[in-house]
Amino acid sequence: MADISISLPDGAARSYPAGITGAEIASDISKSLGKAAFACAIDGVFSDLSIPINKDAEFQIYTSKDEEQALELIRHDAAHIMARAVQELWPDVQVTIGPVIKNGWYYDFDRDEPFTEDDLKTIEKKMREIINKREPVRTEVWDRARAIKFYEDNNEPYKVELIDSIPGDEDLRMYWHGHWQDLCRGPHLAHTGQVPGDSFKLMSVAGAYWRGDSSRKMLQRIYGVAFRNKVDLKAHLHMLEEAEKRDHRRLGREMDLFHFQEEAPGMVFWHPNGWTLYRVLQDYMRRRQNADGYLEINTPMVVDRKLWEASGHWEKYRENMFTTEIDDEHANEKRTNALKPMNCPCHVQVYNQGLKSYRDLPYRLAEFGSCHRYEPSGSMHGLMRVRGFTQDDAHIFCTEAQIASETEKFIKLLTRVYQDLGFAEFEIKFSTRPEVRAGSDDVWDRAEAALEGAIKALGHPYTVDPGEGAFYGPKLDFKLTDAIGREWQLGTLQADFVVPERLGATYIGEDSHKHTPVMLHRATLGSFERFLGILIENYAGKFPLWLAPRQVVVAAIVSDADEWVLEVVSRLKARGIRAEADVRNEKINYKVREHSIGKVPVILAVGMREVEDQSVSMRRLGSKGSAVHGIDEIVELLVVEATPPDLRGQ
């Protein structure tokens, strides 16, 4: 057989007979590399070590030191090993798909009996047995008919369906982990023992629809995490524990911010502390928006269905709306109302009062609008997804030519706001025209260009989501990630060519004729509820002073200091600081601990020494030490620090 030339990453080239495998090359380079090799890249294509190489190629070997590739392989093989373990334990279970995901993998099974927590332990044990066997992984390309027959004979209908959906020109590849076989794109490890037996864990089991389709059967999905070593696994589990500690639902209880109860699912009961936080944020937003030329309004929460019919919501959004009927006693005014799920139709009503001139545009109407949406029961999640919420909503009525500048202006506002609130980084997603849409391609071209141009002008990175725009116009979404790694959409900007027309919004142009304005729906925080959830998690409850609902606790060390404590509190309050006195009959240790847990940023301890020289001893949340300051000095210092960022002379 002819020799081929294999070039290695260090520039060296070696000559081998054609048909040599990656494994053989690795062993040839060194015995230890042969053992350590996980997989390889042939001309940059991630491949199995067992695949023969028939022509000159660039060649690279991956071992567990190559983090990205190693994790991909370990998790992928772990998925197969888990599927094998499950089928060895319960031969009737049907296998479906099992991809690698962040931190691990999942595999979906069809089994009548639910998997239990104990089953997960049993499966883990079986997986370790398979790993310890160090059985070789091998692969073959099969033709379609053979693969289909194989799976039909083995009663694996899901696999047959998968094969049917793979494009006809693609090779079908089979992998064996020992005797167990699965259809897979690969590549895989060289043998099962390369998955570290002490570095994976099965985390949970949950339902998942076959092919993500809610009209199809629900399968059982087992999630696992896997790493290159035990230390990384431990670190990951530790990280999950830490994330749980900053879960806003937990902090909400610990800091006494809000609660939920059965009688009003998905509706927040804000407590004094939580509502203080909410108001501080709202006041801040109001100032920012006023400064940016928005006009604040307020519109009805309960509105006749006629308006929703006109806006199109009744047809398209009915099942997500809370409706009310007038009772029999008032039958002569019987009508159906809906709690508003959005503010836009009401805002158009305000716009429509009186004639608007092109000189009035852009016309920016803002409302802290209280909305209700009947969200599916399973989708609710603390403050992040609720049924009753308040948006920092606004609608900008403008000409098509003004879209770009208004978009840019909005992104600047949003960036400023996010920065002030501690989010240096956020994601922008740009959604373009969907298949089914209103308006001409011409208008879409211009609108998309305006939105995309604005992001580009500001130099913020973004991703494009083709076809995900609303039927009435393209949109930008602004996203942040919560403590447990879930992504949430907060801000949004959507161009709308449809609703203004449907609801009869017009302006008189320079040509003295009527025109329909474009409407930009936009929200910065999205909903206060969701944003506060994210904010709580982002700060882990340790808010900067201006946001903290309880800013200062002045605590007496001995009761003879009570009078001075009360005096200090009233001086702070006089300057707008949210201060409280703690003159309970408790030791200072006890008070410090309690207020630290309550995440109060500043504790001022006061004993007889402080009474003598009219001072306080300040302790910051999270610090061990304390420092004594004169009363006037401390008041000035705290007043400055407690000033919201937009009111600071910068």
Partner RNA sequence: GCUGCUGUAGCUCAGCGGUAGAGCACUCCAUUGGUAAUGGAGAGGUCGGGAGUUCGAUUCUCCCCAGCAGCACCA
Touching RNA, residues 293-332 (CB under 7 A): 313, 316-317, 320
Distance CA 193, CA 369 (A): 58
Residue 262 touching RNA (CB under 7 A): yes
Query: Dihedral (C-alpha) 214, 217, 218, 223: value to the nearest 10 degrees?
Result: -100
353 in catalytic set: no
How many Cα atoms sit within 13 Å of 216 on the Cβ side? 12
- Give yes or no for a contact between 17 and 4, defined as CB atoms under 8 angstroms apart: yes
Q: Indicate the residue among 58 and 580 with the shorter CB distance to RNA.
A: 580
Residue 223: alpha-carbon gap to chain centroid: 19
Distance CA 565, CA 457 (A): 54
- Which two three-digit tokens encode residue 387? 């049924």
User: Which distant-in-sequence residues (6+ apart) come within 8 Å of 332 by Cβ?
Assistant: none
Q: Indicate the residue among 393 and 408 with the shorter CB distance to RNA.
A: 393
Pairing of strands 427-431, 463-465: parallel
Annotated active-site residue in 391, 402, 494, 551: 391
Window 129-158: residues binding RNA (CB under 7 A): none
For Cα atoms 136, 140, 146, give the angle at the middle one, nearest 5 degrees.
130
Window 21-80: residues binding RNA (CB under 7 A): none
344 in catalytic set: yes
Q: Indicate the residue among 37 and 536 with the shorter CB distance to RNA.
A: 536
Annotated active-site residue in 77, 108, 392, 393: 393
486 in catalytic set: no
The residue assigned the tokens 């590739």 is 69
Which x/- pattern over 265-284 shows residues binding RNA (rule: CB under 7 A)?
xx------------------
The residue assigned the tokens 């996203």 is 479
Residue 338 touching RNA (CB under 7 A): no
Question: Which range touches RNA (CB under 7 A), out of 201-209, 358-366, 422-430, 440-448?
Answer: 201-209
**Minimum distance, C-beta of residue 318 to RNA, in the bound complex (Å):** 11
Selected from 54, 132, 419, 596, the binder of RNA by CB under 7 A is 596
Selected from 17, 19, 44, 207, the binder of RNA by CB under 7 A is 207
Selected from 206, 295, 326, 640, the binder of RNA by CB under 7 A is 206
Residue 341 touching RNA (CB under 7 A): yes
393 in catalytic set: yes
Selected from 458, 621, 641, 645, the binder of RNA by CB under 7 A is 621
H helix intervals, 333-483: 344-351, 403-420, 441-458
Question: Which range touches RNA (CB under 7 A), out of 164-172, 257-265, 419-427, 445-453?
Answer: 257-265
**Minimum distance, C-beta of residue 641 to RNA, in the bound complex (Å):** 18
Distance CA 650, CA 644 (A): 12
Selected from 597, 637, 640, 647, the binder of RNA by CB under 7 A is 597
Annotated active-site residue in 76, 159, 356, 475: 475
Window 70-129: residues binding RNA (CB under 7 A): 114, 116
**Minimum distance, C-beta of residue 280 to RNA, in the bound complex (Å):** 23
347 in catalytic set: no
Distance CA 323, CA 182 (A): 51
Question: Which range touches RNA (CB under 7 A), out of 6-14, 410-418, 622-630, 636-644?
Answer: 622-630
Residue 613 touching RNA (CB under 7 A): no
Annotated active-site residue in 173, 177, 385, 395: 395
Residue 610 touching RNA (CB under 7 A): yes
- Give yes or no for a contact between 125 and 119, defined as CB atoms under 8 angstroms apart: no
Q: Alpha carbon of 5 to those of 15, 23, 93: distances in Å?
A: 5, 16, 47
Selected from 619, 631, 634, 638, the binder of RNA by CB under 7 A is 619
Question: Which range touches RNA (CB under 7 A), out of 74-82, 181-189, 607-615, 642-650?
Answer: 607-615
**Minimum distance, C-beta of residue 499 to RNA, in the bound complex (Å):** 10
User: Which distant-in-sequence residues (6+ apart) come within 8 Å of 232 by Cβ?
Assistant: 199
Q: Indicate the residue among 77 and 610 with the shorter CB distance to RNA.
A: 610
Question: Which range touches RNA (CB under 7 A), out of 205-213, 276-284, 414-422, 637-645?
Answer: 205-213
Annotated active-site residue in 344, 346, 371, 398: 344
Count of positions on this chain that bind RNA (CB under 7 A): 72
**Minimum distance, C-beta of residue 368 to RNA, in the bound complex (Å):** 16
Q: Indicate the residue among 206 and 574 with the shorter CB distance to RNA.
A: 206
How many Cα atoms sit within 13 Å of 214 on the Cβ side? 0
Distance CA 462, CA 481 (A): 15
Question: Which range touches RNA (CB under 7 A), out of 47-55, 226-234, 362-370, 552-560?
Answer: 552-560
* Single-letter amino acid, residue 384: M
**Minimum distance, C-beta of residue 186 to RNA, in the bound complex (Å):** 24
Q: Residue 206's beta-bridge partner residues? A: 221
- Give yes or no for a contact between 46 and 9, defined as CB atoms under 8 angstroms apart: no
593 in catalytic set: no
Window 210-249: residues binding RNA (CB under 7 A): 212-214, 218, 220-221, 223, 249
Residue from 531, 542, 598 nearest 383 by CA? 531
The dihedrals phi and psi of 394, each to the nearest 5 degrees, come to -155, 155
Contacts by residues 617-622 (CB-CB < 8 Å, ≥ 24 positions apart) = 619/592, 621/542, 621/596, 622/542
Window 442-481: residues binding RNA (CB under 7 A): 470-471
**Cis ω before 9 (30° cut-off from 0):** no
Which x/- pattern over 369-408 shows residues binding RNA (rule: CB under 7 A)?
----x-xxxxxxxx--x-----------------------
Question: Which range touches RNA (CB under 7 A), out of 191-199, 511-519, 568-576, 616-624?
Answer: 616-624
- Which of 133-143 are b and which e, b meaning 16 or more Cβ less than 10 Å from the residue's Cβ? eebebbbeebe
SS3 content of the chain, % helix, strand, coil (to 5): 40, 30, 35
Q: Indicate the residue among 81 and 120 with the shorter CB distance to RNA.
A: 120
Window 475-504: residues binding RNA (CB under 7 A): 484, 486, 489
Selected from 95, 493, 572, 605, the binder of RNA by CB under 7 A is 605
**Minimum distance, C-beta of residue 283 to RNA, in the bound complex (Å):** 25
- Give yes or no for a contact between 147 and 163, defined as CB atoms under 8 angstroms apart: yes
Query: Dihedral (C-alpha) 439, 442, 443, 447: value to the nearest 10 degrees?
Result: 130
Q: Indicate the residue among 538 and 617 with the shorter CB distance to RNA.
A: 617
User: Which distant-in-sequence residues (6+ apart) come within 8 Å of 562 by Cβ?
Assistant: 556, 581, 583
Selected from 189, 413, 557, 635, the binder of RNA by CB under 7 A is 557
Window 562-591: residues binding RNA (CB under 7 A): 585-590
- Which two three-digit tokens encode residue 592? 């410090």
Annotated active-site residue in 159, 437, 521, 530: 521
373 in catalytic set: yes
Q: Which residues are catalytic?
A: 344, 373, 391, 393, 395, 475, 521
